[in-house]
Amino acid sequence: MKMASSDSRLQQLPSQKDAADQNFDYMFKLLIIGNSSVGKTSFLFRYADDSFTSAFVSTVGIDFKVKTVFPALLEPDDTAGQERYRTITTAYYRGAMGFLLMYDITNQESFNAVQDWATQIKTYSWDNAQVILIGNKCDLEDDRLIPTEDGQRLAEDLGFQFFEASAKDNINVKQVFERLVDVICDKMNESMEGDMSILPNHRNQGLKDSSSDSQGSCAC
């Protein structure tokens, strides 16, 4: 069950029933995590709706959108970064196949917190969950506090892939989601010999609808 949100923009989200009505081979549940205000909700809205607002309405609990990347349905869930919702959000980790762990390149605290978020993933998530580290707000070059190399180094240390991105200027948003799907598929092929039926959210409904609102494809 999804938590209600204080964010009026999220009233426009498709219902979970809409998602269930679609036909797709696989469902990849993804979580976007990171400190409050790093841009998780903005990133999701840019990806799913190609929209952006400079207003900041902090997320309560969890919200979600769905997006088809043929032949999979992505369910990227947007989590609240505020500490008081931590118990709610960690309860969702187990079902997620991939994480977008986000910090803000203009916010040192959000970068310092990456290690803690990574520990949370290791503690609460499915063992094979894949993670991409994202330095968001790369449009704010003048206010940058975290050099690109520091983000790269941290991602290497943690064994994650790394992107800098901007929800505002639509830089690397689609690419991040597509890369995450790719690494999930690669991991499946590599460690489970392509047996997708072991996925936590696998559905075998038959493939009817080949339409996709993304150019990304799954090369599983």
Number of H helices, E strands in the chain: 7, 7
Q: Which residues bind ligand GTP (CB under 6 A)?
A: 36-42, 53-54, 56, 58-59, 80-82, 136-137, 139-140, 166-168
From 59, 107, 130, 136, residue interacting with Mg ion (rule: CB under 5 A):
59
- Longest Cα pair distance anywhere in the chain, in angstroms? 50
Strands 72-79 and 26-34: parallel
Q: How far is the CB of 81 from Mg ion (least distance, A)?
A: 7
Residue 163 CA from chain centroid, whole number: 13
From 5, 41, 68, 110, residue interacting with Mg ion (rule: CB under 5 A):
41
Q: How far is the CB of 161 from ligand GTP (least distance, A)?
A: 19
Q: How far is the CB of 75 from Mg ion (least distance, A)?
A: 16
> Which range in 55-63, 166-174, 179-187, 204-212 contacts Mg ion by CB under 5 A?
55-63
Cβ atoms 130, 183 nearer than 8 A: yes
CB count in 10 Å sphere of residue 123: 9
The first and second tokens of residue 213, run together, are 């609102």
Q: What is the DSSP code (8-state) at residue 3? A: P
> Which range in 36-44, 106-114, 154-162, 212-220 contacts Mg ion by CB under 5 A?
36-44
Q: Is 136 in the site for Mg ion (CB under 5 A)?
A: no
Closer residue to ligand GTP in complex, CB, 49/186:
49
Nearest of 139, 169, 146, 170 to residue 34 by alpha carbon:
146
Binding residues (CB under 5 A) for Mg ion: these are 40-41, 59
